[in-house]
Structure 1
């Protein structure tokens, strides 16, 4: 018989711990489990006493995992994921969806326009797309996502897609209706659009112009949005110039919905990576989706040395 029963107060304590560690908030974990917050706190304290170590650091606005807590959370999350995969395999009635998490801009302007092709290439593949405003770790609910990391980033179940390259973009109509853009200095005389993402740091116009050698005291964007998707929509509507990212803008440029007024660009030294959980089993369906996504970005990665 497994020794696990003697190592934990009860199997339920692992479910409580997993929810609390995932939310980093006892109140939210209680709401998910349909129990009271004191019940969650009591269960966590019992687990800590049983393990003989502190798993959470209690703070005013929530909790943080200790090193021991992170170690246990990684094991519990991986174990739950494997159990769920097995149960799904045993269930003949459940439709298996592969869940892809992406920013709203990547989902709307890179993935969604190509889903018809995915269905043509893999008619039996079922995919669920969810949007997120921050980087999330794939787990039992998320199969794949995309991160931007240093170009030398390495970890199990991660795949390089293309370099992060940033450049000005605008609608053809905007370019036709406004003064000619012959040099990067001309950009300061045009309307500039920018996104401020709370959880993702994006290069600003001031930073981009400084890196291409434009000295100006007037580098503030004319319009700021709290989601890059809105910035792209404003650019598509002809409201001004936006900064474009290599992956996100690829199809918009290919279909000439947006254009690059100048060839000048900044390679940030980072890259887009496709990410699955480090311990995830690459089933036939998941492996097919990974191969398909990498094939769609093959042209972007040509000549980038990876």
Structure 2
């Protein structure tokens, strides 16, 4: 048993003391605690008698803390704050989130710019974005994710989002400061931003140029980012030309922060798929999330790549 129980007349007296010490008013403390002022005064007197120390000085101007009262208040206030923080933390753990697993690029360049819209129309749903460097299987911890698979991929609880279409992208500032691009061969005279991914296969510049009918032998790999997200960030900052994916770069293309300096594009025969776990039939909130993702990505199915 905690010794504290024998040092105070009751745990309630600590709440009364904290309110009175914080407000320096028995009247305001009573209003806050929804009790009468005499009951506050009695609780403080009982506590002072039990502790054998005067905690408040009472005079015509009101009340003020004694040295002992101020010392006790500092510790009670700090203790209450720690308890509040712990209770908030453990309560938060019990909150049910919908978990959306996504790559860094998808999270940063597709979800982040518009997820506030989902929260506005569904304020009752809490969404947790789980950034992962590899594909994960939806399970008891992950509700929804997005995979890239062959165009004919077919599995329960999956929905086609968009074909995988890849093309060069750069910032308007970069293109304004460098020679115009008219042909695939013109890429040899530009700074190409290279990226690789240890866990997801991404098309390289050499592969893209060869598929587009060019000669990749002149391509130099001066700088390589090991995260595609960093490569796109470099393109946004005007550092060069990167390869862009139609789905994940749609937001930047729509707002003009990235442009397509060449009309050439490669359709890979693969596609983006929305994937949900087996509990979708039990969760109306998960269905709302799926409907929202499909609605936000409808443009890719209605009008094709940008």
TM range (shorter): 0.5 to 0.7
- Which residue number corresponds to residue 10 of structure 2? none
**Residue aligned with 2:217, SS:** coil
- Which residue number corresponds to residue 133 of structure 1? 133
- Which residue number corresponds to residue 118 of structure 2? 118
Is contact 1:157-1:276 (8 Å) kept? yes
Is contact 2:171-2:259 (8 Å) kept? yes
Is contact 1:166-1:244 (8 Å) kept? yes
* Cα distance in structure 2, aligned partners of 1:248 and 1:119: 20
- Which residue number corresponds to residue 73 of structure 1? none
* Cα distance in structure 1, aligned partners of 2:216 and 2:197: 24
Is contact 1:197-1:226 (8 Å) kept? yes
Is contact 1:166-1:243 (8 Å) kept? yes
* Cα distance in structure 2, aligned partners of 1:295 and 1:282: 21
- Which residue number corresponds to residue 246 of structure 2? 246
What is the aligned-residue RMSD (CA, Å)? Answer: 1.6
CA shift digits 1:26-71 (9 cap, x unpaired): xxxxxxxxxxxxxxxxxxxxxxxxxxxxxxxxxxxxxxxxxxxxxx
Q: How does 1:103-114 map to 2 (within 5 A)?
A: 103-114=103-114
* Cα distance in structure 2, aligned partners of 1:158 and 1:273: 6
CA shift digits 1:209-262 (9 cap, x unpaired): 000110242123332111111001110111100000011100010111110001
Deviation at 1:280, TM superposition (A): 4.4
Is contact 2:110-2:248 (8 Å) kept? yes
* Cα distance in structure 1, aligned partners of 2:298 and 2:250: 12
- Which residue number corresponds to residue 155 of structure 1? 155
| Unaligned stretches of 5+ residues in structure 1 | 1-90
Matched, 1:262 2:262: yes
Is contact 1:191-1:221 (8 Å) kept? no
* Cα distance in structure 2, aligned partners of 1:112 and 1:153: 27
Is contact 2:139-2:278 (8 Å) kept? no
Is contact 1:162-1:272 (8 Å) kept? yes
Q: How does 1:77-226 map to 2 (within 5 A)?
A: 94-226=94-226
* Cα distance in structure 2, aligned partners of 1:152 and 1:279: 24
Could you tell me the TM-score, scaled by structure 1's length?
0.67
* Cα distance in structure 1, aligned partners of 2:282 and 2:183: 48
Is contact 1:155-1:278 (8 Å) kept? no
- Which residue number corresponds to residue 71 of structure 1? none
Could you tell me the TM-score, scaled by structure 2's length?
0.67
| Unaligned stretches of 5+ residues in structure 2 | 1-90
- Tell me the matched-pair count: 213
**Residue aligned with 2:248, SS:** helix
